[in-house]
Homo-oligomer: A and B are copies of this chain.
């Protein structure tokens, strides 16, 4: 490790926290004054993404069903594969199940360049088309690239700006951490969330724009504008816990302190949850899945199951390759991710849940208070509904944030999640079931410095909470 810097490191550098707070307070910028018009313009470009049959999807120079396993894979061996998974577990009431799963072994970069303009930190986002996006174009990180991209398996040009993240010494690393993605849909997937601050000039391509954190927070109130990768990369910044209005006025002590539980207690609770639940997730041939079938259009569940595997054909001008076909995972309907927060001892706490998912590297990560596929609501008897689901759905004027956002449009077709922050009072008790814990915002941020504590939906909700 050759690099060397002389700054001390007391957790998060104080200057960085202050500069992030300043950027969050700055809600307009002369660098990008007309962001709404600019984005509207980008969204008028002629893209289309249409469903194709599984027969049309396959191609000698593209995707194919592998002989024997029926796994869906790219002829080059790169990108990702759709395989089968057999899960056995002592968690929940199922005991075991089979499902298709997306497998991607290399680490994608979700990289954002940061730079000061007039003394205020701006972040370089890209208006990026993804085939599965509901509104096609959303704001993504500066670079959102698998190693397949930057090693040019596409035969196209390398992702713009990727050298800021692959060449060392281009700038100062503000954060650089692996985090998981959807543990129900991805097998062991993790991405590199990285923000690099530069001081030199950065050439600006027309599909990119510099935004303050305040501008991004404003766009986060709109449906499907800030994409999942931008939310997670920016969410990993060490945002001070006293930033948002909800947490304003809290004591300025060490962020980990003053909670209902000490950090040692929280880590012990988390360890206990991981020890309680056994889950074995074994990859199996896609054509061997019990309860699933492949027809002309899709790989679909025979009865239970809330997603299918489909194929799409895409035409686009702003991607590295101008036209392609690919498989996507298509959820059946809207998901809900709701976080209940309340003040305890003068400090804002979030009610998080230990979520057991087969794609996680260590069985359990922290999720929102409630995560649920809304299409399942009608068929789920009251005693099987997740705890706090009916509470958050009837929270009325306790709702502080209620916006639909997209999940990764490069892998999922129209995967939308309704993100909800509910500020509770005494109506939600301090004593909660064993899979739940009240955690301060500062404790969540401290945990988020490390990999695999916070799942993707909780990271989005924490980012939204800090924007309020």
Contacts and interface: CB of A to CB of B under 8 A. Distances in A.
Copies per assembly? 2
A268 B2 contact: no
A269 B5 CA distance: 13
A306 interface: no
A267 B9 contact: no
A178 interface: yes
How many of chain A's residues touch chain B, expressed as a range?
35 or more
Contacts of A9: 256-257, 259, 262-265
Given A256-B11, A257-B8, A264 B173 contact: yes
A254 interface: yes
Nearest to A258: B8
A176 B272 contact: yes
Interface stretch (A45-53, A220-228, A274-282): A274-282
Interface stretch (A18-26, A126-134, A153-161, A430-438): A430-438
A261 B8 contact: no
Contacts of A278: 105-106
A390 B260 CA distance: 52
Contacts of A173: 264-265, 268
A283 B280 CA distance: 12
A449 interface: yes
Interface centre among A176, A282, A361, A437 (most CB of B within 10 A): A176
Given A3-B265, A176-B271, A362-B452, 15 more contacts: A1-B269, A1-B432, A2-B432, A5-B265, A7-B262, A9-B259, A9-B264, A9-B265, A11-B256, A13-B264, A175-B264, A176-B267, A176-B272, A194-B271, A267-B450
9 contacts: A4-B261, A9-B263, A9-B265, A10-B256, A13-B264, A106-B278, A176-B267, A177-B271, A362-B451
